[in-house]
Amino acid sequence: MTSLLLSILFAVEQAPAVSAQVPTLVASVETRDIHQLFKEYASDQGWSGAESKLACKVLAGPLTLCLKAEEQGKRRYVTQADLQLWRLDQDQAQAKAGEILSVSPWVPVEIEGGGRYFQAKTSPGHEATVFLHPEWLLELGPTPRIAAPSKGVVVAWPGGDKELDQIMAVGVRKMSDELPESLSPMALTWNGQAWVAWGQAKAKATK
């Protein structure tokens, strides 16, 4: 990827932290290639070591959960150098990011023909916080599924109903294929200790 595109992706505001005061932290779902992309960007900026490594933790499948810092109305990706400066480890930083929401944001959406799923309704950019609160997901029903088909969109539904699972898997695939800033059609579930990949609908065969 060119230096210009990398700069657009990570924004011109991206720069190492200079203050030991911890800013507001926000969770952000990304695909795993974010690590290599940021490494290239950091190299272009002359950064190395902890400055070139993002503060992220793998969710499952192709998805990873990164952190962003909100500073002066702007957001930038948090790096390992930031965590060192703030004297936080990954889990502590994620816990702080989880504090941005105090109540469950899951809102039911009725499906035409029967059934329903849930969508995380939050302030823009705060949707991924639900990955830090699996207890809210478990309130939706047994063996719940969760998916982030694109930036700003996180949906979930109670698992176990084959028809609903199929409807939602296809719907998530369609959103991932058609919405801007696509992430992944992969749905995850919480096994009580960690996120694990549940599955995804197959892509339509191209003619």
First to last CA, the chain: 29
Total-model pTM: 0.88
CB 14 within 8 A of CB 77: yes
Helices (H), 23-120: 34-45, 80-86, 90-98
What are the distances in angstroms from CA 193 to CA 7, 132, 133, 190?
36, 12, 12, 7
Pairing of strands 63-71, 187-190: unpaired
Q: How many helices (H) and strands (E) does the chain have?
A: 6, 10
What pLDDT score was predicted for residue 189?
95
Question: Per-block average pLDDT, block size 10, for the chain (207 residues)?
Answer: 48 58 94 92 89 94 95 88 94 96 96 91 94 94 92 94 94 94 94 93 69
What pLDDT score was predicted for residue 109?
96
